[in-house]
Amino acid sequence: MHDETTPDPAWALETLAIRAGHQRTHEQEHGEPIFPTSSFVYGSAAEAARKFGGEERGNVYSRFTNPTVHTFERRLAALEGGERCVATSSGMAAILSTVLALLQAGDEIVASRSLFGSTVSLFDKYFGKLGITTRYVELSDLAAWESAITPNTRLLFAETPSNPLSEVVDIAALAEIAHRHAALLAIDNCFLTPALQKPLALGADLVIHSATKYLDGQGRAVGGAVVGRDKELEEVFGVVRTCGPCLSPFNAWIFTKGLETLSLRMRAHCENAQALAEWLQAHPAVARVHYSGLPDHPQHELAGRQQGGFGAVLGFEVKGGREAAWSVIDATRMLSITGNLGDVKSTITHPATTTHGRLSPAQKDAAGIGEGLIRVAVGLESIEDIRLDLARGLDALI
């Protein structure tokens, strides 16, 4: 009988995404099963005691041990090249669990200014209450990262590429800086996924995912994950076990099935996004396009070396500020007006009033979130239909 729990080291990512992590039951099922159960039963009181005490492997309670969730965790760990993965109820829960597990009062975080708005709120408002201080720097400025580190710095945190300006940082160089100062480096990889970027192979210690995005790929469920070494992940698991931000079995099953088509989808997303970015760059109503696949992007060469593709998310600035940006968004008939991304359906949003709306004006300025900025997460529809839908509003601005 084949044991697919331990993947063959020679398997390619596409194979791992389909085969890794599934431990067949006595039913010999071909598809991955769902275990929608809150608890598990034992043959005796002694067996229950051994499993609750950790003396014997086995399931205890679905808040922290569930076979369907474990399948997703093993598969994603295999794709990222990590020793272990811990799944969570959302991407934000993954960040929360990581910081609660590894930092304490008096510790410091150095983070990129170009973070998702909710991540900034989590760091400043909630971790700040716990005595954890965060300093923000320009994502691509390695000297700024170095100068912001103090003896109390325990974690460096970055999204690369950034949302929504597609800024990129040199992960290997940033990892060297972090480790020289005895700090950990966490990279939010939800924009590229392991199909296009493997931060652990570049020296990062932790990879954060909002599985809600491209790991699912069809906008069906909310979830998150942390991948890394067993040493740090055992602490993260402890937070999930005790505090309860766990992933449901059904959502874990959705994400597991989503991984099967991850490589195919990401290649198609990149192809559409590149074509759209080039078209937008030539449009007279567009002042600037932010996409690392364009040759004039400041980190284009770095992105080409570090990434296996440029991703599906791009930002573009229209002339005329908020009024013009809203008119372009409102003129669309096909693109979905929503703050989410990572879907086969293209989505469009105004970051300054949605995803980054809770940031202060100063924070928006520092992060480059202007009133004329529009973000598009390019889906898998016909690229011609996507261009025609945006042209309705953009042509009206000329």
Query: Per-residue pLDDT tens for 283-312?
Result: 999 999 999 999 999 999 999 999 999 999
Q: What's the half-sphere exposure (Cβ side, CA atoms, 13 Å) at 49? A: 3
Strands 286-290 and 313-318: antiparallel
pLDDT at 155 over 90: yes
Which pLDDT band, with edges at 50, 70 and 90, does 47 fall under?
very high
State residue 199's pLDDT score: 98
Instruction: Look at residues 23, 12, 171 and name the one whose alpha carbon lies nearest to residue 78.
Output: 12
Instruction: Look at residues 301, 289, 324 and name the one whose alpha carbon lies nearest to residue 140.
Output: 301
State residue 1's pLDDT score: 40
Which pLDDT band, with edges at 50, 70 and 90, does 163 fall under?
confident
* C-alpha radius of gyration, the chain, whole number: 21
Q: Residue 160 region, left (φ>0) first, then alpha (ψ -120 to 50), else beta?
A: beta
Average pLDDT rounded to a whole number, residues 250-275: 98
Contact predicate 98/226, CB 8 Å: yes
Which pLDDT band, with edges at 50, 70 and 90, does 184 fall under?
very high
Which pLDDT band, with edges at 50, 70 and 90, does 5 fall under?
low
Average pLDDT rounded to a whole number, residues 254-258: 98
State residue 114's pLDDT score: 87
State residue 355's pLDDT score: 83
Share of the chain above pLDDT 70, in %: 99
State residue 96's pLDDT score: 98
With 0-12 / 13-18 / 19 or more C-beta atoms within 10 angstroms meaning exposed / middle / buried, residue 164 is buried
- Sheet containing 286-290: which strands, arranged edge to edge? 286-290, 313-318, 373-377, 347-349, 336-337
Quote the CA–CA distance of 140 and 135 in Å, as a whole number.
Answer: 15
pLDDT for 75-103, tens place per residue? 999 999 999 999 999 999 999 999 999 99
Quote the CA–CA distance of 174 and 256 in Å, as a whole number.
Answer: 31
Quote the CA–CA distance of 215 and 254 in Å, as a whole number.
Answer: 9
State residue 357's pLDDT score: 82
Strands 133-137 and 153-159: unpaired
Report long-range pairs for 276-284 (Cβ below 8 Å, ≥24 apart): 276/314, 276/376, 276/378, 276/383, 276/386, 276/387, 276/390, 277/314, 277/316, 279/387, 280/314, 280/316, 280/390, 283/391, 283/394, 284/398
Phi, psi (rounded to 5 degrees) for 275: -65, -40
pLDDT at 267 over 80: yes
pLDDT at 3 over 70: no
How much is the mean pLDDT over the chain?
Answer: 95
Instruction: Look at residues 341, 327, 340, 346 and name the one whose alpha carbon lies nearest to residue 387.
Output: 346
Least confident segment among 59-68, 167-176, 320-329, 349-358: 349-358
State residue 4's pLDDT score: 53
